[in-house]
């Protein structure tokens, strides 16, 4: 029987992944996840065959820490049996089979049914693809056939991996080092031996095979005990982190405790407990649902909160299964290598012992990255091959400026990085000097530099980086973790706390930007063919004005405690703007009647993100106090390029003439009206873009805080007059390349200044 249509889609997706892959990449993790989802199994793993030894190289479902460490000879295990027989091996009760081989590090004793298919490149076995389930299951003919087809596609790639492994061994024999690339998240350079975070965040533990499940009341009792123990864990970690750093850094554990006591969260947990469904399954499903929602979001500030919830989920499961965390006993010294770092791991970071951090997952806005920057520990995250191509004890160089990781580097590379470390110390001192100075061009043009913020914990470091305020505070996170919308009082308390933590710095609160890449369960309207062009943001609030009025009332009340600005996203025309201002006025009148204080002159602005707003900006400017260009969305909508679609990523071009004309028009209209125009997209934090934006007339830039000294240095090294002349020439360009060529001299000067 032929595979189903969705199976064919899976095969074509895998083919595209393999076609796009570079030799230095490892797309296998993505493929195992795709197979696991397609076949609705609990585990999909892939083993590489080298010198009669099977090595686990990718898995979705087993402990990721076991990748590269689980090895068995062909004569061992059910996986080896597939190599010996050269045919699929299908077993309903794997642990009962005489060839079953148990690896404690994987946690696979929980899985029952097993299937393995050998990967054949012509007549040579190069690996094995396996699937596992927690419940006894008879795999269908179609499922096994799909596995065989996938194995057929994977075989050439796995053969290439074998060749690559051989080449790497040759490189080591010849003294050539291995270099991995990731995301630079914490600056500086670290040198030391690799050690692995062995436990980390494990995949969700499904019910043990044969484990008895009590009645719902009994399971709820177990749940209550686990909640109590987990809350105690979090309180202990919160106190430790507060003592070690400050209240800001410990807030993540406070927020976790608040989740555990949230009535909606508890109600959802209890609703999962039905006959035959245990407490662990309830925890896995409810918190897993939150995680999946966060992972859908394009904005990294929210997407990376999924790792925080993984930590919370794992602690709950540890207590439900009676498995005490083992991480406290591990010795942390050298370069820490892990799949990811979660909040409870970051509480143990010691800059005196840890000289660098390398993770396979994570990014600039992850909690671990924030803590690494606070501690001054160089870190590179999102490193493909971190778990499979680094071994414990390898000497590593972590380049937190360029996002590079060197494995067993040559002596001359080591000596060079030791020199770079010395220069870097001087550079950091210089950047710190820039942080304290105003952002003035050589000919006196003043630019205001502010920070994009998504968490309260981000606020403490703003003065250190020289931020003059918060140009964009995202208000979505509290809404995303609840089934019930937070009321006015809850929002007011949160916004007041944010203002107090900012300690007098002005904060621009972007009102709730729901929909698109920021799905909020309570406001969900179901699946949309194109959510970015659908029922999102202001369009949603035109139908639900009461939600917007509640947020306006909370923000207005908070404005009595410090300087606040209101920023409304996704305005496309005057009708929407008038409607929003009407809701704001209603909120003000409500507070007046209640005798509550607020700033009656609170600055009100809108984001320019869609072409229609650019076309109507000369009308819109009359109704607002300031404008903020959201260049990420503006580029997406102007060029009709989905920024989440890898196929069209090359068309997402900030220097496209249409984009430059849009920025120039908005800046000009703002200047003529005597009102501030800022940029808060990725362009704002790129020093190479600074001369262009300044030359186009932008007067305020908002970015992630660590980029502020870099951009400030760029501003202080250019003349506004020259930048303006070059920008005007760039506006005459017919192509993005022409604009790049015109800007090249200024951008090269910036690059040289940054390096010096």
The pLDDT tens digits of the residues spanning 338-387 come to 887 776 676 667 777 888 999 887 776 566 776 677 667 889 988 887 88
Residues 57 and 155 reside in one and the same domain? yes
Residues 379 and 501 reside in one and the same domain? no
**Spatial contact of 569 and 630, defined as CB atoms under 8 Å apart:** yes
**Contacts of residue 488, Cβ cutoff 8 Å, sequence gap at least 6:** 550, 553, 554, 557
pLDDT number for residue 200: 38
Kindly state the tokens that stand for 456. Answer: 């309260």
CATH number at residue 223: 1.10.274.10
Residues 266 and 337 reside in one and the same domain? no
CATH number at residue 12: 3.30.450.40
Residues 638 and 650 reside in one and the same domain? yes
Q: Which range among 52-56, 232-236, 599-603 shows the weakest confidence by mean pLDDT?
A: 232-236
Q: Is 60 exceeded by the pLDDT of residue 470?
A: yes
pLDDT cut 90: percent of the chain above it: 28
Query: Can you say how many angstroms the Cα of residue 120 is from the centroid of all Cα atoms in its chain?
Result: 36
pLDDT number for residue 424: 59
Q: Is residue 464 part of a domain?
A: yes
The secondary structure of residue 207, as a DSSP letter, is P
Q: Is residue 458 part of a domain?
A: yes
- Please provide residue 518's backbone torsions phi and psi, each rounded to the nearest 5 degrees: -125, 70
Q: Is residue 648 part of a domain?
A: yes
Confidence band for 3, pLDDT divided at 50, 70 and 90? very low
Q: Would you say the C-alpha torsion 742, 746, 751, 756 has a positive or negative sign? A: positive
Q: Is residue 623 part of a domain?
A: yes
Instruction: Provide the residue count of the chain.
Output: 756
**Contacts of residue 366, Cβ cutoff 8 Å, sequence gap at least 6:** 185, 304, 307, 340, 341, 381
List, for residues 639-669, the tens digit of each pLDDT value.
988 765 556 667 888 999 999 999 999 999 9
Q: Please say which residue of 390, 425, 460 terminates a domain.
A: 425
> Among all chains, which residue has been given the structure tokens 């990449």?
25
Catalytic residue annotation: 367, 680
Residues 67 and 131 reside in one and the same domain? yes
Q: Provide the pairing of β-strand 564-568 with 604-608.
A: parallel
Q: Three-state DSSP class for 756?
A: coil
CATH number at residue 391: 3.50.30.10
Q: Which residues of 676-692 are buried (b: 16+ CB within 10 A; e: fewer)?
A: bbbbbbbbbbbbebbbb
Domain of 297 in residue numbering reads as 216-325
Q: Which range among 37-46, 158-167, 445-454, 732-741 shows the weakest confidence by mean pLDDT?
A: 158-167
Residues 363 and 281 reside in one and the same domain? no
Residues 503 and 645 reside in one and the same domain? yes
Number of domains, the chain:
4
Higher-pLDDT residue of 21, 269: 269
Confidence band for 606, pLDDT divided at 50, 70 and 90? very high
Residues 651 and 570 reside in one and the same domain? yes
CATH number at residue 632: 3.20.20.60
Kindly state the tokens that stand for 183. Answer: 């995301």
Q: Provide the pairing of β-strand 700-703 with 404-407.
A: unpaired
pLDDT number for residue 611: 95
Q: Is residue 301 part of a domain?
A: yes
pLDDT number for residue 299: 58
Residues 572 and 673 reside in one and the same domain? yes
Higher-pLDDT residue of 660, 142: 660
pLDDT number for residue 710: 84
Average pLDDT of the chain is 79
Q: Please say which residue of 425, 459, 488 terminates a domain.
A: 425
Q: Three-state DSSP class for 81?
A: helix
Q: Is residue 294 part of a domain?
A: yes
Residues 48 and 124 reside in one and the same domain? yes
pLDDT cut 70: percent of the chain above it: 74
Q: Is residue 210 part of a domain?
A: no
Q: Which pTM was predicted?
A: 0.55
Alpha-carbon dihedral angle through residues 267, 304, 18, 84, given to the nearest 10 degrees: -60
- Residue 565's closest CA among 605, 608, 596, 592? 605
End-to-end CA gap in the chain: 65
pLDDT number for residue 201: 38
Kindly state the tokens that stand for 752. Answer: 């040289």
Residues 184 and 305 reside in one and the same domain? no
List, for residues 108-132, the tens digit of each pLDDT value.
666 788 999 998 876 778 889 999 9
- Residue 505's closest CA among 474, 471, 473, 469? 469
Residues 141 and 260 reside in one and the same domain? no
Q: Provide the pairing of β-strand 113-121 with 89-91.
A: antiparallel
Q: Please say which residue of 404, 425, 446 terminates a domain.
A: 425
Q: Is residue 208 part of a domain?
A: no
């Amino acid at each position: 029987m032929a595979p189903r249509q969705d199976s064919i889609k899976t095969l074509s997706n895998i083919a595209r992944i393999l076609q796009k892959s570079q030799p230095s990449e490892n797309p296998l993790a993505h493929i195992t996840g795709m197979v696991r989802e397609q076949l609705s199994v609990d585990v999909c793993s892939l083993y590489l065959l080298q010198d009669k030894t099977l090595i686990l190289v990718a898995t979705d479902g087993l402990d990721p820490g076991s990748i590269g460490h689980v090895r068995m000879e062909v004569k061992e295990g059910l996986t080896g049996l597939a190599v010996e027989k050269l045919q699929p091996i299908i077993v309903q009760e794997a642990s009962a089979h005489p060839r079953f081989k148990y690896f404690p590090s994987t946690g696979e004793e929980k899985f029952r049914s097993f299937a393995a298919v050998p990967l054949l490149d012509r007549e040579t076995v190069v690996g094995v693809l396996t699937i596992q389930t927690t419940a006894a299951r008879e795999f269908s003919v179609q499922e096994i056939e799909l596995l065989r087809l996938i194995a057929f596609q994977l075989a050439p790639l796995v053969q290439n991996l074998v060749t690559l492994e051989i080449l790497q061994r040759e490189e080591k024999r010849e003294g050539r080092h291995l270099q991995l690339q990731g995301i630079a998240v914490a600056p500086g350079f670290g040198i030391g031996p690799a050690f692995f975070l062995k436990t980390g965040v494990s995949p969700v533990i499904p019910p043990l095979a044969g484990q008895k499940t009590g009645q719902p009341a009994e399971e709820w009792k177990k749940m209550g005990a686990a909640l109590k123990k987990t809350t105690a864990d979090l309180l202990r970690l919160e106190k430790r982190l507060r003592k070690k750093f400050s209240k800001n850094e410990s807030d993540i554990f406070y927020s976790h405790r608040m989740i555990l006591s949230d009535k909606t969260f508890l109600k959802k947990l209890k609703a999962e407990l039905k006959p035959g469904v245990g407490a662990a399954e309830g925890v896995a499903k409810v918190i897993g649902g939150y995680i999946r929602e966060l992972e859908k979001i394009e904005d990294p500030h929210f997407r990376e909160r999924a790792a925080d919830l993984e930590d919370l989920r794992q602690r709950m499961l540890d207590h439900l299964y009676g498995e005490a965390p083992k991480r406290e006993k591990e010795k942390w010294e050298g370069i820490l290598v892990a799949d990811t770092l979660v909040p409870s791991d970051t509480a143990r970071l010691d800059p005196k012992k840890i000289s660098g951090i390398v993770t396979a997952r994570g990014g600039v806005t992850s909690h671990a990255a924030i803590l690494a920057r606070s501690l001054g520990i160089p870190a590179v995250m999102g490193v493909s091959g971190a778990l499979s191509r680094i071994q414990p004890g390898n000497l590593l160089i972590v380049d937190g400026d360029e996002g590079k990781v060197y494995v067993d580097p040559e002596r001359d590379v080591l000596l060079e990085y030791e020199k770079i470390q010395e220069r870097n110390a001087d550079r950091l001192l210089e950047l710190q000097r820039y942080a304290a100075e105003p952002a003035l061009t050589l000919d006196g043009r003043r630019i205001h530099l502010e920070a994009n913020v998504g968490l309260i914990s981000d606020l403490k470091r703003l003065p250190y980086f020289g931020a003059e305020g918060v140009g964009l505070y995202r208000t979505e996170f509290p809404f995303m973790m609840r089934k019930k919308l937070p009321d006015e009082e809850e929002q007011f308390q949160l916004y007041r706390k944010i203002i107090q933590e900012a300690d007098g710095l002005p904060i621009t609160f972007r009102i709730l930007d729901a929909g698109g890449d920021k799905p909020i369960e309570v406001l969900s309207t179901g699946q949309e063919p194109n959510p970015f062009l659908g029922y999102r943001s202001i369009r949603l609030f035109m139908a639900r004005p009461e939600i917007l009025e509640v947020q306006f009332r909370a923000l207005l009340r908070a404005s009595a405690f410090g300087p606040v600005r209101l920023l409304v996203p996704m305005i496309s025309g005057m009708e929407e703007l008038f409607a929003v201002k009407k809701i704001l006025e209603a909120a003000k009148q409500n507070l007046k009647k209640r005798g509550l204080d607020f700033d009656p002159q609170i600055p009100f602005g809108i984001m320019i993100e869609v072409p229609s707003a650019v076309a109507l900006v000369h009308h819109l400017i009359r109704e607002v106090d300031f404008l903020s260009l959201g260049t990420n969305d503006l580029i997406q909508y102007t060029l009709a390029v989905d920024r989440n679609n890898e196929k069209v990523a090359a068309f997402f071009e900030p220097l496209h003439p249409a984009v430059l004309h849009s920025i120039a028009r908005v800046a000009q209209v703002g200047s003529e009206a005597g009102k501030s125009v800022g940029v808060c997209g990725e362009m704002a934090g790129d020093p190479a873009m600074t001369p262009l934006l300044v030359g186009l007339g932008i007067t305020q830039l908002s970015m992630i805080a660590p980029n502020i000294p870099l951009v400030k240095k760029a501003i202080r090294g250019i003349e506004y007059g020259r930048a303006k002349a070059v920008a005007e020439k760039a506006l005459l360009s017919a192509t993005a390349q022409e604009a790049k060529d015109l800007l090249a001299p200024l951008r090269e000067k910036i690059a040289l200044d940054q390096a010096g």
